[in-house]
Structure 1
Amino acid sequence: MIEPILVGVAFLAGLGFRRIGMPPLLGYLIAGFLAGWFELGDADVIHVLSEIGITLLLFTIGLKLNLRELLAPQIWVTASLHTVIVVPLTAAVLLALLWVLPGVEEIDASVAWMLAFALSFSSTVFAVKIFDERGEGAALHAKIAIGILIVQDIFAVSYLVLSAEHTPSPWAFLLLALPLLRPVLVYLLKQAGHGELLILFGMAVALGSAELFHMMHLEAGLGALLFGVLLSNVDKSVELYKSLINFKDIFLTAFFLSIGYYGLPSGNMLLVALVISALVLLRPLVYFALLLMFRLRARTSLLVGLSLFNYSEFGLIVAAMAVNSGQLPGAWLTTLAVAMAISLFIAVPFNTHVHSMYARLATRLQKMERKELLQEERPVDLGEAEIVIFGMGRIGSGAYEYLSEHYPDKIIGVEESADKALKMRLAGISCVTGDASDRDFLERANLHRRKTVLVSLTNHSENVDVVKLLQQLDYRGKIAVVSRFPDQQEELIGMGCITFNLYAEAGHGFAERVLEELG
């Protein structure tokens, strides 16, 4: 079972980092190393829970995946070129360690290339967690980053299949018929309703598909990803995604804890971990240059590059295979575990303060952009709208519908998801694609012509960041923001905002609706 003390330590460590403005996952990493040091909890149980977390993560990515987006050059070509650039450089550093750090055991050239290939990947767990915490899951930079990670996952799965001791099962070819299961899965999804049956359905499909692929001697995570894709782009896929988010996050906590159980290296191997960790500093620069080449804005390129700033758990998987086969000394496994943890500690502060960092560097970075940007990166026009609604989810759409009755042709919605914005325009709703946290977008929005801005984004921290950005840009109109809890409402009122507490005032809205119907 899970040691209660370990759960408590993870909570306190996560809370401590959150209080200083850092993501709690850094606390989970420290708790994991403490647990490994003091032998708290059962490492095997933690490992199983972390595997469930990764499976649910890949399944939920599949639910939101658009395969056509992976065909964009800025995704698959960028991922490929990054691999071509980074792998030889990392291999050269690994082979040179023997002369740079005396006492380090020499490794075979083939093993060095294998480790360099594994270290070329970034952590899907980290990137998705960062985007979720910032409420940017539907933004263009998040889609590009996730697309690159999925292409890397395809590279990783291909490698594991080719290097596996067991070839895929002869029955594996039957998996080509998986698209035939889509109607059945969609029917069951619709029948599951909105409660615990929906959650059970999602868990069963995610874990069952992973086990199915494992039985076929294929990568289990690939099965979860593909079954998520089978259920994507249907009405209830978004609801299923939201119902699994909290479960996914809880199990992913176990993943960060599990890293600490690999232990700490000693002596020179700790220096090796520091050298390997230093290599990640080049990674955002490579991504930044490649994405600029594909006509993306400097801001988008920076956000993507920093989200891919660290090492992936795949490196540990490859290292474990090499250790088990006798190709690599066991000390390398703990060395890579520490290198991955250090890379996370390096990446988190950059990603936490990325928007303020871009604000300081915007003028210089924008000079590096191509003259002709991609269509989705070009400035949008808010027209003559006097009221702007950021976030066209259920709340934003409802506000648009109500206000348009009183202020026709004076309202425009801004939505991060290009697909969703397009559907709204086809339905006759005035909506453009844009990111409310994008300083460039707001600077070009002629804010002095807008009387009121409504903010109803994914989470409270994102709403607060947008309010701060509007105030930094000297916006003088009214700002109305959605809140869900009393402490959030008080914070927004203190910032001078009009705020509506969804939970506290839902009954009032319900009564108003009844009175309207009664005439």
Structure 2
Amino acid sequence: MEFAFILLAFICGLGLKLVGLPPLIGYLIAGFTLNYLGFHSTDALQTIANLGITLMLFTIGLKLNVRDLYKKEVWLGSIFHSVVWVTLINLLLFVVSWLGLAAFANLDWSTQALLAFSLSFSSTVCIVKILEESGEIKTRHGKLAIGVLIMQDIVAVLFLVIATGKVPSIWALLLLLLFFAKPIWSIILERVGHGELLILSGFMFALGGYELFEALGIKGDLGALIFGMFIATHAKSAEMSKALMNFKDIFLVGFFLTIGFSALPTLDLIYTAIILCLFIPIKFALFFSLFTFLKLRARTSYLASLVLSNYSEFGLIVVALLVSLGWLSAEWLVVLALAVSFSFVLTGLFYKTSHNQYTKFKNRLKSFESPHRLHEDVYVQPVGAEIIVIGLGRVGKGAYLSLNSMVGNRVWGMDADRSRIHQLKKVGYQAMVGDGEDVDLWENMDLTQIQLILLALPSIEDICNITEQLQHANYTGKIASIARYEDEIQPLIDAGSDKVFNFFTEAGTGFAEESLQLLPRYIKS
């Protein structure tokens, strides 16, 4: 791969990060800039991009609970959104063509419908990237968005089968035997340890699933996702996901670059893409209306709808198919590549301040809520709590156990991962499901008795957002948080944390103090 690809991606990504914008916008800019400068995509770059998508879908599977797909708000919301969207956008495209805009003038009803269908999908790559960077992949709205994306992926596979006539091999029925392979995978994962073999096994499962499904005539990306889902129940699934995270993120930079390499736009094509982007608010409004109709809370509906309001890379596949059939001109590939890119930028910009947006407009948004709550959306009151530990990963669990040994039942734990809370309650934790960035949660909780809140989260942005939401809810107690790096301490203090612990320094201090107790003369009386 050209060194110029890496250099410009780094410069643009860093530049956008320094001004407070998501780096992925910089990678898109880098791709178009390289294209303008005369560079061309290479086979190596395309391979890296494909590998990034495969790893991303595999890691989604590692975090996915299949039962989430059975929820009415996921499958019914996805289906209704697609049907209503295609109908509305088809009508709008007819209106635009009637107005005489050249790019839309020659589209017939069937082509318009397929174009509307291609725009109905949301981008798995963009959404997962944004949710992971904000630490919200396992929140209520994060899991809702992921569920919708998976339903869309299933529809995409069915469409490709019908449109291309590529019927899966009869041998695909043997994939049902994968259900009986779980003991084999468990043995492998238990033997690989925690080093490079764990990472290598992740690549093996992801690419093995891809190649197996491709060989049987099924979209390979679906194979990577399903293999991840099979491994998700294993104790090492979370560790494997973390081990693959940086590899996946680096490879996905290649994907964003390839979007820019797709074609060099003209002003007319840019205008056409902007017209398509004007439809994005309709996508948001449809998702929000359907989610609230299905009795989801306004905040969940708003955040999930906002992150889903973009166009998908799969749309490029649909349009490429239409171009090959002669139903659309080749220029439409450029138009859709631009529209997809612009939609990524819009999602990155708007979602960055999504929690503050909700706080600002929550009274108006909550007027759309159903008076009836789904079981998962009922707020839990931490009875007798004086201390709450938010984030029950390894650090949070350690803090909870230490505090519990000192103050007993006056400490509670909270985490956005429902399955994690379920497991912890089984072993005696006083814990509840909750998203610390949810201002509604804090406003519905009696905070008068809460004296201390510990924020044991890996993302500095999450900690700052939670601190801000607590301030909005008039919390008057103390806040302690953790930092992984020295340069994170002051920003956390500025955001409102009363005490910040450097994770590595404090771990070393604790280790030293505990170890010193092994020497009799240092034992405290």
Q: How would you bin the TM-score normalised by the shorter chain?
A: over 0.9
Residue 137 of structure 1 corresponds to 137
Q: Which amino acid aligns with 2:489?
A: Q
User: What whole-Å deviation, never above 9, does each CA across 1:435-485 have from its counterpart, x for those lacking one?
Assistant: 111111112222232111100123122112212332343432221101111
Q: Does the aligned pair in 2 maintain the 1:103–1:268 contact within 8 Å? A: no
2: distance between equivalents of 1:325 and 1:178? 37
Structure 2 residue matching 1:13: 3-state secondary structure: helix
Q: Which moved more, 1:475-484 or 1:308-317?
A: 475-484
Q: Does the aligned pair in 2 maintain the 1:387–1:450 contact within 8 Å? A: yes
Q: Does the aligned pair in 2 maintain the 1:161–1:219 contact within 8 Å? A: no
Residue 214 of structure 1 corresponds to 214
**Among the aligned pairs, what percent are the same residue?**
40
Q: CA offset at residue 147 of structure 1?
A: 0.4
Structure 2 residue runs without a partner (length 5+): none
Q: CA offset at residue 342 of structure 1?
A: 1.3
Q: 1:140-151 residue pairs with structure 2 within 5 A?
A: 140-151=140-151
Q: CA offset at residue 99 of structure 1?
A: 2.9
User: What whole-Å deviation, never above 9, does each CA across 1:406-459 have from its counterpart, x for those lacking one?
Assistant: 111210111111121122122111101111111111122222321111001231
Q: Does the aligned pair in 1 maintain the 2:439–2:472 contact within 8 Å? A: no
1: distance between equivalents of 2:243 and 2:141? 24
Q: CA offset at residue 363 of structure 1?
A: 1.2
Q: Does the aligned pair in 1 maintain the 2:458–2:483 contact within 8 Å? A: no
Q: CA offset at residue 92 of structure 1?
A: 2.7
Residue 372 of structure 1 corresponds to 372
1: distance between equivalents of 2:493 and 2:21? 24
Residue 266 of structure 2 corresponds to 266
Residue 237 of structure 1 corresponds to 237
Q: Does residue 14 of structure 1 match 2:21?
A: no
1: distance between equivalents of 2:296 and 2:497? 35
User: What whole-Å deviation, never above 9, does each CA across 1:306-337 have from its counterpart, x for those lacking one?
Assistant: 01010011000111122233332111101100
User: What whole-Å deviation, never above 9, does each CA across 1:195-233 have from its counterpart, x for those lacking one?
Assistant: 111111101111121122112221010110111111111
Residue 65 of structure 2 corresponds to 66
Residue 86 of structure 2 corresponds to 87
User: What whole-Å deviation, never above 9, does each CA across 1:70-116 have from its counterpart, x for those lacking one?
Assistant: 01100000000000100122223334443324433513433222222
Q: Does the aligned pair in 1 maintain the 2:443–2:473 contact within 8 Å? A: yes
| Aligned length, in residue pairs | 518
Structure 2 residue matching 1:453: 3-state secondary structure: strand
Q: CA offset at residue 160 of structure 1?
A: 0.9
Structure 1 residue matching 2:345: 3-state secondary structure: helix
Residue 410 of structure 2 corresponds to 410
Structure 1's 491 and 268: CA in aligned 2 closer, same or farther, altered over 3 A?
A: closer
Q: Does residue 497 of structure 1 match 2:498?
A: yes
1: distance between equivalents of 2:26 and 2:100? 31
Structure 1 residue matching 2:110: 3-state secondary structure: helix
2: distance between equivalents of 1:383 and 1:207? 48
Q: CA offset at residue 38 of structure 1?
A: 1.5
Q: Which amino acid aligns with 1:317?
A: I
User: What whole-Å deviation, never above 9, does each CA across 1:357-401 have from its counterpart, x for those lacking one?
Assistant: 011111121122111111111121022211111111111111111
User: What whole-Å deviation, never above 9, does each CA across 1:211-266 have from its counterpart, x for those lacking one?
Assistant: 22112221010110111111111100111111111111111111111111112333
Q: Which amino acid aligns with 2:91?
A: A
Structure 1 residue matching 2:181: 3-state secondary structure: helix
Q: Does the aligned pair in 2 maintain the 1:3–1:41 contact within 8 Å? A: no
Q: CA offset at residue 155 of structure 1?
A: 0.4
Q: Does the aligned pair in 2 maintain the 1:391–1:414 contact within 8 Å? A: yes
Q: Which amino acid aligns with 1:512?
A: E
Q: Which amino acid aligns with 1:45?
A: A
Q: 1:94-493 residue pairs with structure 2 within 5 A?
A: 94-104=93-103, 106-493=106-493
Structure 1's 507 and 458: CA in aligned 2 closer, same or farther, altered over 3 A?
A: closer
Structure 2 residue matching 1:193: 3-state secondary structure: coil
Alignment RMSD (CA, Å): 1.6
Structure 1's 122 and 496: CA in aligned 2 closer, same or farther, altered over 3 A?
A: closer
1: distance between equivalents of 2:82 and 2:385? 46
2: distance between equivalents of 1:61 and 1:433? 21
Q: Which amino acid aligns with 1:188?
A: I
Q: Does the aligned pair in 1 maintain the 2:273–2:339 contact within 8 Å? A: yes
1: distance between equivalents of 2:97 and 2:415? 53
Q: Which moved more, 1:2-11 or 1:192-201?
A: 2-11
Q: CA offset at residue 165 of structure 1?
A: 4.5
Q: CA offset at residue 284 of structure 1?
A: 1.2
Q: Does the aligned pair in 2 maintain the 1:97–1:272 contact within 8 Å? A: no
Shift >6 Å, 4+ stretches: none
Q: CA offset at residue 41 of structure 1?
A: 5.2
Structure 2 residue matching 1:449: 3-state secondary structure: coil
Q: Which amino acid aligns with 2:467?
A: V
User: What whole-Å deviation, never above 9, does each CA across 1:3-46 have from its counterpart, x for those lacking one?
Assistant: 21221111111111112211111111111111111233534332
User: What whole-Å deviation, never above 9, does each CA across 1:472-510 have from its counterpart, x for those lacking one?
Assistant: 434322211011111112323444521111112222111
2: distance between equivalents of 1:99 and 1:464? 50
Q: Which amino acid aligns with 1:511?
A: A
Structure 1 residue runs without a partner (length 5+): none
**TM, length-normalised to structure 2:** 0.95
1: distance between equivalents of 2:59 and 2:507? 30
2: distance between equivalents of 1:381 and 1:84? 40
Q: Does the aligned pair in 2 maintain the 1:464–1:492 contact within 8 Å? A: yes
Structure 1's 496 and 504: CA in aligned 2 closer, same or farther, altered over 3 A?
A: same
Structure 1's 102 and 379: CA in aligned 2 closer, same or farther, altered over 3 A?
A: closer
Residue 510 of structure 1 corresponds to 511
Q: Which moved more, 1:193-202 or 1:177-186?
A: 177-186
2: distance between equivalents of 1:269 and 1:99? 19
